Amino acid sequence: MSRLVVISNRVSKWKQGGAQGGLAVALNSALRQNNGLWFGWSGQRVETFTGHLDIEEHGGVRTATIDLDEQDVDEYYNGFANRTLWPLFHYRIDLAEYERSFGEGYERVNNRFADTVLPLIEPGDAVWVHDYHLIPLGYRLRKLGCNNKVGFFLHTPWPPTRLLVALPYHQRLVESLFAYDVVGFQTEEWLESFRHYCEKELGANIDGETISYGDLTLKAIACPIGLDHTEFLAASQSEDADKAHDKMRASLQDRKLIVGVDRLDYSKGLEERFNGLERFFTDNPEQQREVVMVQIAPPSRGEVESYQEIRAALDAQTGRINGAFAHVDWTPIRYANRGYPRVELAGIYRAAKAALVTPLRDGMNLVAKEFVVAQDPEDPGVLILSRFAGASLQLTEALLVNPYSAEELSDAISTALAMPLEERQRRWRAMMDVMEKTDVIWWREKFTQYLR
């Protein structure tokens, strides 16, 4: 089988059991089984960009990374990627910022990625580009003479046409996707939004999965990312997970645990989640001192102003709720701004009676899947899941909620905590069946089958 070359914004230096994002976990799983190469930014900054490659091997995965200079990081990463595309793709047009220098930096870094990675691509390699940071990368690779099969997968939502057209040079961005052989989306909804734009704005012809634009064609598919089910199940049954579970249970003093684990981001609906929890304690005074919410929210993109604002708002909100409801021997919300290794999270998930995974908009959300896998089959917790997360289309036996409604969140918490064992087991088994069939291997094989 030909090699798989993965290109993404950041490259994770894999550590078994370490704190990893969903994309990092999924890609490491794919690369370990495909003798692959992972190329991207190291996360380090240098005074002047040189294109120097650092090639290493970690856990059976070969990585090749480059450093970016300060201007690159400011304009490409903090700028166009995270102040323009991220809010726009998550329907937050009110937060999207448009600066010409952002776009220039975005194209410059994509060109630098292409120039540097091209000599590493061998004939017959399948190239798999990931996420909104690198949309134009395929176009640049083609201009440099790359004739390999090249695919692109978007891990975020794709916005409706009426929102996307607010982006300056939106047509140029979408046209660059026609350099790819295959473009993948998390859900049919995001795929349909892309098809609608191509048809209405570009005048492209759509024939099944094939979209033709002039003399260019691509395959556009929905291919929801899966979890490395086997690996995470093993982690959840490890000694370290057991220790984390026991430590959490001991700290609760027989209280019921609700858990949330999210990167600190306005798309995750944390303010709305806390509003729902406040409503729950207001509506159910008998549950006060009986329920604890543990919210783990490691900070991200701290140089972007909107992320500084969400952190300050959540600090104030948790303080206000705890001040209103706490007793000397009980605090309703434990709020931690730090990350934890996945193996420890698995133990914390298993200690919980319910999980709140309530983003306002999310491409998939692998935390929802991790929570389900980590549960004790004999006494599983309940997943409360936003209907606006991509995972809601697969995990239909979760309690699906509108995260904007504090009342609906409150009702879902009450339902979850009172749910009979038989119903919890039935819902858990149905969700496990889905994840076992559509795990990370299924995701990789489905996409690469189209690509090859």
Positions annotated as catalytic residues are 155, 362
Contact 406, 272 (CB under 8 A): yes
Of 300, 228, 243, 388, nearest in space to 10 by CA:
300
User: Phi and psi at residue 339, in whole multiples of 5°?
Assistant: -95, 160
CA gap 280, 289 in Å, rounded: 12
CA 237 vs CA 240, 244, 258: distances in Å = 8, 11, 20
Cα 352 to its chain centre, rounded Å, is 22
| Contacts of residue 332, Cβ cutoff 8 Å, sequence gap at least 6 | 277, 281, 288, 291, 292, 293, 321, 322, 325, 326
C-alpha 39/C-alpha 138 separation (Å) is: 14
What are residue 256's phi and psi, to 5 degrees? -85, 135
Tokens of 364: 């998939």
Six-digit token string for 215: 């003399």
Paired tokens of 332: 């309703």
C-alpha to C-alpha distance for 357 and 403, rounded to whole angstroms:
9
Q: Which of 365, 380, 359 is nearest to 432 (CA)?
A: 380
Q: What is the residue type of 292? A: V
Q: Which of 319, 364, 373 is nearest to 346 (CA)?
A: 373
Residue type, 261: V
In the numeric block, the tokens 């380090």 are attached to 44
Exposure on the CB side of residue 270, measured as CA atoms within 13 A: 32
Tokens linked to 245: 């579970």
